[in-house]
Amino acid sequence: MSSKTEEPGFHQHECPEHQEQHQSSVQINSKMVDEWKTLTTQVGGHQFEQGDKHGMVDIGNGFVLKSLQNPPRGVRELNFYQKVFDKECADADLIELRDFMPTFHGTVEKNGGKFLKLANLTFGYKKPCVIDLKMGKVTYDQEATPEKIAGEIAKYPPLTKLGFQITGMMIYDPVTDEYEKFGKNFGKSLTEETIISEGLDKFFRQGKGELRKDVVQPILFKLKKLESWFLKQRKYSFIASSLFMVYEGSKVVDTIIISAKVKNDLIHTKTELPSDNIESRLVEGQDDNKNRQEKSVTNQKRHIQGDDDALATKKFKLNNDFLSKPSEQKHDLPELEKSEDTAQVHLIDFAHAFPATDLDSNFLFGLQKLINIMKTLGK
């Protein structure tokens, strides 16, 4: 693995880096560290543990901290976030990509560690159901050693045909008011034949309930928008990046759902927006949603046998610290807009985002396979 700490290609496009804006780190005190906790809705990647600075940390108020990986991966991911969210950015492709990424709020330093400060993608959801999909039939980059390549291929052989893999998911059961959490070994157990029935179909049924077509359709819409972006951009390739999909698992949404991006923009930026523009981005669950409740799912849970707790399902209660506060105002918005705000698709993980000059056919292969599956589910 190369030991270089920066990607020169990231500095050759239209978005200049502004050191004073992005690379000035925030020092945080010990009291704040004591309030850090594991991001409960994280289902893929390294998990944060007390005393271990790696992984995702929930610091409340709609923010998470993501620890930077060792160079060159951490530097590469930081550079990419800085580039995309640079206020002086004039690159139309990158500006469009912001809608799919967690909003970047700079960096935080503590005890020699450096973290990305990002929007919490489940902030504002009452009962979020989430899934992490690692995209592409190739998950090793151009700097990988032969040993690394062999190891990546051996991890999940079906990847070459599927083009994506489930690295984790969390499903809310409205009957028990509990969550089932499926780890990476569960994802590895899925084959080309079972990825739908035991994977995606299960995710969109919240276990064994009726298929949530009300969220399948808006997610499919977002996936096709992302596909359009990948079909036109020629500047980057995304190796081992993931799609993070989230939808509202509560049968009746009695709080206003505000996407993490909008919520953080409204609370944490000084930009003044016209009131009608703000209102157009708020979504409140309506009473008539009660008439569209799906049939109750059975209380029987299927346990997946495995040799560790990453393979077995985990059941737990999820605290609601990340909920948005109900608004006293009511907003009568079109149903499609409500659906889009209760089901979202985000592109995450950019430690292997490289400059390119052609289509990212590797990512596109997996994305288009996923779109075809979603079309099947949506019928």
Q: Tens of pLDDT along 210-252?
A: 899 999 999 999 999 999 999 999 999 999 999 999 999 997 5
Predicted confidence at residue 54, as pLDDT, reads 66
- Residues of the chain falling short of pLDDT 50: 1-34, 50-51, 253-264, 266-313, 319-339
Closest by CA to 238, choosing from 101, 141, 357, 121, is 141
Q: How far is CA 255 from the centre of its chain?
A: 22
Predicted confidence at residue 56, as pLDDT, reads 84
Q: What are the pLDDT digits (tens) for 118-130?
A: 999 999 999 999 9
Q: How far apart are CA 226 and CA 14, in angstroms?
A: 21
E runs forming strands in 63-140: 63-67, 104-110, 113-119, 128-135
Predicted confidence at residue 37, as pLDDT, reads 75
Q: How far apart are CA 240 and CA 268, in angstroms?
A: 30
Predicted confidence at residue 317, as pLDDT, reads 55
In a 13 Å sphere around the CA of 39, the CA atoms on its Cβ side amount to 30
Predicted confidence at residue 209, as pLDDT, reads 84
Predicted confidence at residue 220, as pLDDT, reads 97
Question: In sequence order, what are the residues at sequence separation of 6 or more whose Cβ sits closer than 8 angstroms to the Cβ of residue 116?
Answer: 65, 66, 68, 77, 78, 81, 104, 107
Q: How far apart are CA 166 and CA 178, in angstroms?
A: 21
> Is the full-model pTM beyond 0.85?
no
